[in-house]
Amino acid sequence: MKLHEYQAKELFARYAIPVQNGVVIERPQQVEGIALTYPLVLKAQVLVGGRGKAGGIKLASTPDEAKRHAAAILGMQIKGEKVRRLVVAEAAEIGAEYYLAFTIDRPARRMGVIASAAGGIDIEEVARSTPDKIARGTVDPFFGFHPYQARQLGRRLGLGGSLLSDFVAVATALYRVCVSEDAELVEVNPLAVVTGRPFDAAGGPRLLAVDAKVILDDNAVYRHSGLPKNEELTELEAAARAEGLSYVELDGDLAIIGNGAGLVMATLDMVAHFGGRPANFLDVGGGATTENMKQAIEIVVRKPGVRGLLINIFGGITRCDDIARGIVDARSPVDMVVRLTGTNEDEGRRILESAGIHAYVDPQEAARRVVALVAHGA
Ligand code: GDP
Ligand code: MN
């Protein structure tokens, strides 16, 4: 589960990692009531990176400017995500930008640590263009991540003096966040050298977590009762969830329904293989009833731009006759191709055929057929 920047920073603050204090707003007018000293930074809260480049992060030196930026950012789309919330904070005076992250290193079967003096830009980009600017290591889970290890890492980034001490404090605290919160990733990009606010300028430059990205292990969410519920579902996804269907919107025009996550994924691949563009993933689950099937069809065809529907059912505990009744009841408004096989197949097939619907046995044939229908309709 991904956390929003403001949520990740609340977490960081609990572990004494320095962050800016911000205010979360949802409407541009709320800027007026904010008791912070200008210049401010306004930051779109969406669960994708690269907000700065997309225009989702702006500095404002006056209330007018802040309001204008807030109005522009709230409601904008960043990589397909609509901005519903903004964080407003006192802008930090940023000097150098570093990168620091802990993430699961699967081949090493432990947490890995990645740090770079080339922060503020995508680490993938740094890895491509200047891989020697990245320092890496892994953490022995039994030994932990100790200050001397953080110090070695910090020195490799060229840090010294009080900034090196800051780095040690931030890095060891970030590792504690990982372990205590069951995080798969904690990333600070940029971890910035700040000469003034939010710190006391007289104290010299210090490190500040200007950005915060945290992904928690879904399997461990139950262990952390205080966590936010952060799945940003689309309207259709929420409707499907309420019906107990697992549905994910995609950006194509060919709706897909199947039973079992593996079968649905394979169906998406087949459709893509034949040149179609899946509009969604929908798994009606095991033992789906007539009503589940009907609801599933009604949900997938509600997505704007859907021009075809492929239903791929392999009856096990799910019965083909139940499914067939749901298909007939729902009356798909778009071209539909059905593949049906397994438990009570003959009965299911009879029900479909009496409604004038042919059922395929071979899923590939069905996928090819529906892709052709949609292409033909275009
Ligand atoms: P991202 O684009 O989604 O990674 O968002 P970030 O929070 O990393 O912000 C992108 C960039 O905006 C940073 O690398 C900074 O250069 C700049 N930025 C963000 N917050 C501040 C701030 O408080 N003060 C200043 N001067 N720049 C900021
Ligand atoms: Mn960033």
- The reported pLDDT for the residue numbered 225 is 75
Contact 367, 277 (CB under 8 A): no
CB contact at 8 A, 213 and 187: yes
How far, in Å, is the centroid of ligand 1 from the Cα of 49? 11
232 pLDDT band, cuts 50/70/90, is low
The CATH architecture one would assign to domain 235-377 is 3-Layer(aba) Sandwich (3.40)
Asked if pLDDT for residue 55 goes beyond 70, the answer is yes
Give the residue-averaged pLDDT of 316-345.
Answer: 96
- Return the best residue to mutate from 7, 87, 210 for the ligand 1 pocket (most ligand atoms within 8 A of CB): 210
**Is 38 one of the catalytic residues?**
no
% residues pLDDT > 70 (the chain):
99
Q: What is the pLDDT of residues 87-103, one digit of tens each?
A: 999 999 999 999 999 99
Pocket (CB within 6 angstroms of ligand 1): 41, 43, 49-52, 57, 91-92, 94, 97, 120, 189-190, 210-211
Summarize the confidence of residues 232-236 as an average pLDDT.
Answer: 78
The predicted model gives 308-328 an average pLDDT of 97
Check residue 378 and give its pLDDT.
64
Q: Quick one: average pLDDT of 274-293?
A: 95
CA of 5 from ligand 2 middle (Å) equals 9
For residues 300 and 297, what is the distance between their CA atoms, to the nearest angstrom? 5
Give start-end residues of each CATH 3.30.1490.20 domain in the chain.
Answer: 21-90
3-state secondary structure of 197: coil
| Contacts with 17 (C-beta within 8 Å, 6 or more apart), sequence order | 170, 173, 174, 177, 188, 209
Determine the pLDDT at residue 244.
Answer: 86
pLDDT band for position 235 (cuts 50, 70, 90):
confident
233: pLDDT strictly greater than 80? no
- Which of 206-220, 226-240, 275-289, 339-353 has the lowest average pLDDT? 226-240
**Residue ranges of the chain assigned to CATH 3.40.50.261:** 235-377
Pull the structure tokens for residue 210. 């200007």
Mean pLDDT of 345-365: 97
CATH tag for 93-223 (out of 3.40.50.720, 1.10.1780.10, 3.30.470.20, 3.40.50.850): 3.30.470.20
Rounded mean pLDDT, 208-232:
85
The closest residue, in CA terms, to atom 14 on ligand 1 is 120
- pLDDT score, position 241: 85
pLDDT for residue 189: 97
Lowest mean pLDDT among 60-74, 175-189, 226-240, 306-320: 226-240
Provide the pLDDT for residue 45: 96
Question: Residues with Cβ within 5 Å of ion ligand 2?
Answer: 189, 211
Place of tokens 């990645």: 114
What residue owns the CA closest to ligand 1's atom 6? Answer: 211
From the CA of 164, how far away is ligand 2's center (Å)? 21
For 262, phi then psi, to 5°, come to: -65, -45
Mean pLDDT of the 305-317 span = 96
Q: Which of 187, 237, 249, 345 is catalytic?
A: 187
The pTM assigned to this predicted structure is 0.73
On the question of pLDDT at 218 being above 80, the answer is yes
DSSP 256-317: EEESSHHHHHHHHHHHHHTT--B-EEEE--TT--HHHHHHHHHHHHHSTT--EEEEEEEESS
CA dihedral 225, 228, 234, 236 (to 10 degrees): 30
At residue 230, the pLDDT reads 65
- C-alpha dihedral sign at 33, 34, 38, 41: negative
Query: What pLDDT does 253 receive?
Result: 96
Taking residues 209-213, report their average pLDDT: 98
The answer to whether 145 and 172 are in contact (CB under 8 A) is yes
Per-residue model confidence as pLDDT tens digits over 153-210: 999 999 999 999 999 999 999 999 999 999 999 999 999 999 999 898 888 999 999 9
Question: What angle, rounded to 10 degrees, do the helices at 363-377 and 261-273 form?
Answer: 50
pLDDT of residue 81: 85
Residues carrying CATH 3.30.470.20, the chain: 93-223
Strand pairing partners for 281?
248
CA distance readout (Å), 118 to 166, 205, 284: 18, 18, 46
Mean pLDDT of the chain: 94
DSSP string, 206-218: EEEE---EEEE-G
21-90 homologous superfamily: ATP-grasp fold, A domain (3.30.1490.20)
